[in-house]
Structure 1
Amino acid sequence: MTVGGKEDIEGLKEIGKIVALTISEMKNQIRAGMTTKELDEIGGRFLRRYGATSAPKITYNFPGNTCISINHEVAHGVSGNRKIKEGDLINIDVSAELNGYFADSGHSFQIPLYTPSITRLCQYTHATMMRVISSLKHGVRLNEVGRIIQNKARKGGYKVITNLCSHGIGRSLHETPENILPIYDKHDKRVLKEGMVITVEPFLSTGAEYTVGSRDGWTLCVPDNSFCAQHEHTIIVTRDQPIITTVA
């Protein structure tokens, strides 16, 4: 989507704030012993309170309100009877729709008891996302996203999950520009334009460089025992600093 004016910006900000608040509410209420289904229902109730609808549900008939991935799961985790344990690495990914506008955000964190290596992975991935966002504006090559993620990961001693990409968003969950790669592609000549709406979502891991599917047909996991963190914001490209819509 490319925004057409103030109405579009306000609509994107409204659903972005709801998405951000939903993640915050879920994180505040999470506790060891809770099932992922119980956590997902907290998110679903919060979205409905604000009149928003789960985007993966209406777009792909996803069997949950939100995506909750634990430990060696990376993305698109389906909630169920699994109990959350102390020390688990959790990723909450919420995408939702309101009044025809969409927003998408993700957040990785650890349940106490904390492990320094997991804490660093989550913090470093967040810093990587923010480094990318601060570098994007009208006229910048789209492959700058992948270049920065790849370089930051290397400097931090991490690997990049290469088969999960950032994407366009706005009037639907996934739009053009599609497949915004997390690694540098010199052949990608696409350029960011003012008003363009995209996600920025690096996935950094302690070992794996790709994900594999699971039996439920949705959840993506690392093929080894490594850990992965993701952070994601939806942004509007401007001629200066991007507007981050997914903030409370």
Structure 2
Amino acid sequence: MIIIKSSKEIEYMRRAGKIVSETLAILQESVEPGITTGELDRIAEEYIRKCNAIPSFKGYYGFPASICASVNEEVVHGIPSKRVLQEGDIISVDCGAILNGYHGDAARTFAVGKISKDAEDLIQVTKESFFKGIEKANVGNRLTDISSAIQEYAESRGYSIVRDYVGHGIGTAMHEEPEVPNFGRPGRGPKLVNGMVLAIEPMINIGDYNVEVLSNDWTVITRDRTLSAHYENTVAILDNGPEILTLG
């Protein structure tokens, strides 16, 4: 069942989303060669709790950290650790916060120092594909209108869309109905209505779209070990157009 949010609930989610966006901005400033992914996790948790919020991910199905930190060929669900970031790496950081019982959820891919042109282009196209999807996130459209727009944009630039992991509804639970694929034919799925809130999150690879899960049962990597990028926001579908709740 898709849970429609009231204006008051969306305001709660707006506040949670602001904390997430602020956390990601702090992390972007912190990402540099020599820092560990574990230190980034510490910074994120400290800020989220300072805002009287709770990290959404910590303990979620047993996940051990407050952010997902996925480096280079890691697509999603990378576990923060003592891994030291190196010049030229890229890191996808997924972050969530709970405030007043409601979640905000967003992800960004950051450059570590100077990166290759291929990596820069991947990060940029991943972000742009999200905004192409948002152009279709209007009341009266169908869910896969968003999906199709994301896929068309990314593939037209030579990239592949991860199939095994998708976006989702969000509210008092981190993952609610409906699933939000980043691929598919337009005109399918539920009709978009005022009060739906979706976490829309393109995951895009330089190489093939196939992925596999490492032995830690969390970290997802590209099967061909090519770079992957991730861009996500929590988005409210409103009568006057979509509102991104995690852009600050």
TM normalised by structure 2 equals 0.95
Cα distance between partner residues in 1 of 2:213 and 2:124: 26
Cα deviation, residue 188, structure 1: 3.8
Name the residue aligned to 2:79: 78
Name the residue aligned to 1:213: 213
Residue of structure 2 aligned with 1:2, choices 1, 4, 7? 4
In 2 relative to 1, CA 24–186 (structure 1 residues): closer, same or farther, beyond 3 Å? Answer: closer
Name the residue aligned to 2:240: 240
Cα deviation, residue 210, structure 1: 2.5
Name the residue aligned to 2:68: 67
**Equivalent residues in 2 for 1:32-51, closer than 5 Å:** 32-51=33-52
Deviations 1:6-46 (A, max 9, x none): x2122111000000000111111122111111111000101
Name the residue aligned to 1:181: 181
Q: What is the aligned-residue RMSD (CA, Å)?
A: 1.4
Name the residue aligned to 2:119: 118
Aligned residue identity for 2:6: G
> Do 2:31 and 2:110's aligned partners in 1 also have CA atoms closer than 8 Å?
no
Number of corresponding residues: 246
> Do 2:180 and 2:198's aligned partners in 1 also have CA atoms closer than 8 Å?
no
Cα distance between partner residues in 1 of 2:138 and 2:59: 31
> Do 1:109 and 1:119's aligned partners in 2 also have CA atoms closer than 8 Å?
no
Cα distance between partner residues in 2 of 1:80 and 1:189: 39
> Do 1:19 and 1:104's aligned partners in 2 also have CA atoms closer than 8 Å?
yes
Cα distance between partner residues in 2 of 1:220 and 1:159: 16
Name the residue aligned to 1:139: 140
Cα deviation, residue 142, structure 1: 0.6
Cα distance between partner residues in 1 of 2:30 and 2:90: 15
> Do 2:32 and 2:113's aligned partners in 1 also have CA atoms closer than 8 Å?
no
> Do 2:139 and 2:241's aligned partners in 1 also have CA atoms closer than 8 Å?
no
TM normalised by structure 1 equals 0.95
Name the residue aligned to 1:20: 21
Unaligned runs of 5+ residues in structure 1 are none
| Structure 1 residue runs of 4 or more that deviate by more than 3 Å after TM superposition | 185-189
- Give % identity: 30
Asked if 1:171 corresponds to 2:169, the answer is no
Deviations 1:33-76 (A, max 9, x none): 11111111000101010011111224323110100000010101
